[in-house]
Amino acid sequence: MANHKSAEKRVRQTTRKTAVNNQVRKTVRSFEKKLRLAIASGDKTKAAEAFKKYESKLGKAAQKGVVKLNTMARKVSRLAMQVSKL
C-alpha cells in the first residue's frame, strides 16, 4: 500500500498504462489471428492486405514500447515469409 502522495500517483499511472498496453496487445493479437487465418485460407491478396495492417499495428506497438523491437522484427519476418510463399 502506498504511503506517500507520489507513490499513490505512481499506482494510478501504472494502472492506466497497464490498461492501455493490454488493449494494444489485444488489438495486435486479433490482427495476427486474422492474418494467420488469411494465410491458412491460401488467398494471397487477402493475406497481403492483412499482413500490411498487422505490420502497421505491430510497428506502432513496438514504437510505444508495448512490444520489444526484436520481437516485432522476428514476427514480421516469419509472417512475411509465409505470405510470400502463397
What pLDDT digit, counting tens, does each position of 20-57 carry? 999 999 999 999 999 999 999 998 999 999 999 999 99
Give residue limits of the domains in the chain. 5-85
CA dist 55 → 11, 26, 68, 86 (Å)? 32, 15, 14, 18
Fold of 5-85: Methane Monooxygenase Hydroxylase; Chain G, domain 1 (1.20.58)
| Cα 20 to Cα 9, 14, 24, 85, distances in angstroms | 17, 10, 6, 35
Look up the pTM and report it: 0.84
